[in-house]
Amino acid sequence: MTRAQQTISLALVVSSLYLALYLALLPVSNVFQRDIVPVLPFWALVSFGAYMLARLGWGVLTFNDVPEAHEEIVKEIELAKKDLRRLGVDVD
């Protein structure tokens, strides 16, 4: 099973479970049905955003720990500077 198939399968399972909760097909308490189920998608979106921001922050924090990536980006910056100088743009 490929990564895309796994992701699609997980998304289908989660969306089916949410739909069953939203349509009250699964027996849950009225308080849960009325107060929690409608805000679950918003909570999931905010949680996913927080996770991605934390992952991005960790990547920035540990960027110097990856010497190959650091060297590659320095080379790309130098190449971009050369191209801009060739076009007559002052980059210093």
Structurally, how many domains does the chain consist of?
2
In this structure, are 71 and 43 located in the same domain? yes
Average pLDDT over residues 78-84: 94
Nearest partner of 55 among 47, 64, 44, judged by Cα: 47
Q: Which is more confident, 64 or 34? A: 34
Query: Is 53 in the same domain as 14?
Result: no
Domain limits for position 77: 39-91
Q: Kindly state whether residues 28 and 53 are assigned to the same domain.
A: no
pLDDT of residue 47: 97
Residue 15: is its pLDDT beyond 90?
A: yes
pLDDT at 8: 96
Mean pLDDT on 43-71: 89
Quick one: 43 and 29 in the same domain? no
User: Is this structure's pTM higher than 0.75?
Assistant: no
Clarify whether residues 32 and 59 are in a common domain: no
87 and 55 housed in the same domain: yes
Same domain, 53 and 73: yes
Whether the Cβ atoms of residue 33 and residue 27 lie closer than 8 Å to each other: no
